Structure 1
Amino acid sequence: MLCLPLVLAACGSAPTPTFNLSAPQGFTAGGRGDGQLVVAPPYALAALNTDKIYVEPAAGQIAYLGDAQWGDSLPSLLQARIIQSFENGSRLKRVARPGEGIIADYQLVTDIRMFGLRITPEGPVAVVELSAKLIGNQSGRILAAQVFKAQVPATGSSGPEATAALDTASDQVLVAMVRWASGKF
């Protein structure tokens, strides 16, 4: 009998709204399109390696939106969108995840430096910053490296407003990354 009130209390709570990121479309990238690319899972510190939506209320402070979450962990979600971005905008259609049985010529390694809402005196700003390294698999050498960053003002700090701004900033970063990497091979 003690379990019944707990079950009923759990049924009364509303599920947390879940959000997704889109992959940019309708853009083109240069390059010859030679070779096969493997996109490694992005590396993220524990604060960003979650399905929670990161908020920086002040410098050095970490919080999460209480009324929103990602549909998967941020690194997994970003890996999928990076692959889709290459497929959507690059001549390089031979892109995959590690372990999918391809022999890759190149590997794209990314670090998530920032992916969240920064609260500023002017209002909330979606900030996406990724560090990318293009590695030649035969040589094991870093062929090129670059940091990509975008900032987009958010219309508010609720789940829908924050994630819309983060999606826009993410699209900007991913388009720039695909164009940069596609021009290297």
Structure 2
Amino acid sequence: MKRILSNWRPLAIACALSALGACSILPETPSRDNYRLPPTTLIAPQHSGASIGHSLQVSTPHGGRMLEGLRMMVIRQDNQLNVYKGAQWIDPAPVMLRDRLLDGFYADGRIRSVIREAEGLSPDLELRSDLRQFQVEYRENRPVVVIQLDADLISPSARRTVASRRFSIAQPAAGEQVPEIVQTFGMATDQLTQEVVQWSVGQAAGPRR
């Protein structure tokens, strides 16, 4: 009898291992739809003044722990922080905003040389910033896209801050569906970019620093 039991034991173990291999003990990761910011609607304005002979580096804004992720954040009226289920950005908010700012400076065209931080050049001016808010807030039961950016225009050679300003945008959304929210983020980032470009150009047009 003992011999019969010992013969069945390896077979039972093999069957158990086969069953474990057929299914996963880890929960499946839920799929999410990936969203980018809509293409910019900024167009090249008609400027009568000459171009500015400064070079400007646009650095990626610093973001807090939540803003460095990919989830779309929403703050309810009770100040509870949530995320949109099944949706995420293709890049962190600071990266998307940096690229939108670059698009804005290129479209404006008044600053002669606009460079990325990774190019390793020595610019005359550098735009550094902190992204404080990039989320949806519910105000009077309506979704509003809120973006807040604290910007500093730096003179690297002089090692000093030329100018500082806080930019705040609150753009009501047309609806509560994710595609409508994403479209509103596009409008809000375009408005923010236009304000940042106008301010930066005005500061860069001053005496050479």
> CA separation of 1:166/1:100 partners in 2, compared to 1, >3 Å: closer, same or farther?
same
Supply the AA of the counterpart residue of 2:33: P
Q: Distance in 1 between the 2:96 and 2:81 partners?
A: 21
Q: Which moved further from structure 2: 75-84 or 123-132?
A: 75-84
Aligned to 1:20: 36
Residue correspondences, number: 182
Matches within 5 A, 1:1-185: 1=18, 2-6=20-24, 10=28, 15-21=31-37, 22-28=39-45, 32-58=51-77, 60-185=79-204
More helix by share: 2
Q: Which moved more, 1:57-66 or 1:79-88?
A: 57-66
- Aligned equivalent of 2:10: none
Identity %: 26
User: Which amino acid in 2 is paired with 1:181?
Assistant: S
TM-score, length basis structure 1: 0.87
Counterpart-to-counterpart distance in 2, 1:129 and 1:173: 9
Question: Is the alpha carbon distance of 1:158 and 1:138 closer, same or farther for their aligned partners in structure 2, counting shifts above 3 Å?
Answer: same
Deviations 1:87-108 (A, max 9, x none): 1123114112223032201010
Q: Which runs of 5+ in 1 are unaligned?
A: none
Give 1 or 2 for the bigger CA radius of gyration.
2
RMSD (Å) for aligned C-alpha atoms: 2.3
Measure the CA separation in 1 of the matches of 2:121 and 2:94.
21
In 2: Cα distance, 1:87 partner to 1:24 partner? 13
Q: Structure 2 unaligned runs (5+)?
A: 1-17, 205-209
- Given that 1:24 and 1:88 are in contact with CA atoms closer than 8 Å, whether structure 2 keeps it comes out as no
Residue 64 of structure 1: CA displacement?
A: 1.2
TM-score w.r.t. length of structure 2: 0.78
